[in-house]
Structure formats: structure tokens, C-alpha cells
Amino acid sequence: MNPKMLITTAISVLIISLVFWDYFHGGVPSHHLLQRKDLPAISNWWGIILLPTLSWILLTKTEKRLQPKYGKRWLIKAILP
């Protein structure tokens, strides 16, 4: 399996598990901007979309930078010298 897909899947499973755990144990929290009640709140539900998307984008950029140097096993060779 592609390491980018594996890492993104792991992040997706972890954030979905966290949000569902929050949902069944008192509700998913929201955080107000600048911790002021008069400003809008951002719910942790957005993490289900945001974190996997950001991880995919950042891993794609990392892959493009490291693959010419390390080849197909860019992730393992970059982490383990």
C-alpha cells in the first residue's frame, strides 16, 4: 500500500474515533475564535474533513521533494538514516 494512503487512513481512523467518542460521551466540543463567546465557534467535526485533507496535501508535497533523492521507499529512507 502507498505510504501516503496508509498514513492518511490512520489519521482518518484516529480522528473519526475521537469525534465519535466525544459524541457518545457528552457531545462534540466547539471552540470559539479567540475564546470569546461573541465570535463564532468551530466544531471538532471539521477535523474529520480537515486533518485527512491536510495530511494528504503535506505528504504529497513531501513525496515530491524526497522521491527524487530516495526513490520509491522515500518515507522509510527519509525517517531511518
Over residues 5-18, the pLDDT tens digits come to 999 999 999 999 99
Q: Which whole number is the average pLDDT over 68-76? A: 81
The reply to whether 54 falls in a domain is yes
Domain span at residue 70 reads 3-25+40-79
Q: Total structural domains in the chain?
A: 1
Amino acid 68: pLDDT: 86
The reply to whether 35 falls in a domain is no
Place of cell 530516495: 70
- Taking the alpha carbons at both ends of the chain, their separation in whole angstroms is 22
Task: Inform me whether the pLDDT recorded for 81 exceeds 80.
Answer: no
* Gap between the Cα atoms of 77 and 11, Å rounded: 21
Residue bearing the bigger pLDDT, 77 or 33: 33
* Gap between the Cα atoms of 30 and 44, Å rounded: 6
Q: Which of 42, 58, 71 is nearest to 8 (CA)?
A: 58
The reply to whether 34 falls in a domain is no
Q: What is the mean pLDDT of the chain?
A: 91
3-state helix, strand, coil in the chain (%, to 5): 75, 5, 15
Task: Inform me whether the pLDDT recorded for 76 exceeds 90.
Answer: no
The reply to whether 18 falls in a domain is yes
Are 60 and 52 in contact by the 8 Å Cβ rule? The answer is no
